[in-house]
Amino acid sequence: MNDILENSIGQSKIISEIENILVHKVKVNPRLVCPQNYDEPFTGTVFRLQGRDVLYIFLEVEKYFGITIDVNQILNYEFNTMNGIKQLIRSVS
């Protein structure tokens, strides 16, 4: 498992990296990546991302944090918001 998770990574570090992925990898407008939008679905009216963008976020999260996310968690929409991703990461650490 990635050293980041082994060191009991904090919630703020997780959110910070998710923000980094959204802004620098997926090119989301930085003004949208703020606490009031942490529960907004990526494919909803705020972020307006497409499926391929969410897939890219998924791959970047797995790579950065050195984790494997169960397909059922994706099917249950647990990977569709910033807070959802944070909770998934915390659950496997």
What is the C-alpha to C-alpha distance for residues 44 and 66, in angstroms, rounded to an integer?
27
Mean of per-residue pLDDT scores for the chain: 88
Q: Which of 35, 28, 17 is nearest to 89 (CA)?
A: 17
Residue type, 62: E
Q: Is the pLDDT of residue 3 over 90?
A: no
Question: What span, in angstroms and rounded, lies between the C-alpha atoms of 35 and 40?
Answer: 10
In whole angstroms, give the CA distance from residue 40 to residue 47.
Answer: 8
pLDDT band for position 41 (cuts 50, 70, 90): very high
DSSP letter for 38, please.
T
CATH number at 19 reads 1.10.1200
Q: Which domain covers residue 42, as residue numbers?
A: 3-92
Residues 6+ apart with CB under 8 A from 77: 41, 84
What pLDDT is stored for residue 7 in this prediction? Answer: 45
Measured CA to CA, the distance from residue 57 to residue 83 in angstroms comes to: 13
| pLDDT, greater one: 23 or 78 | 23
How many domains, in total, are found in the chain? 1
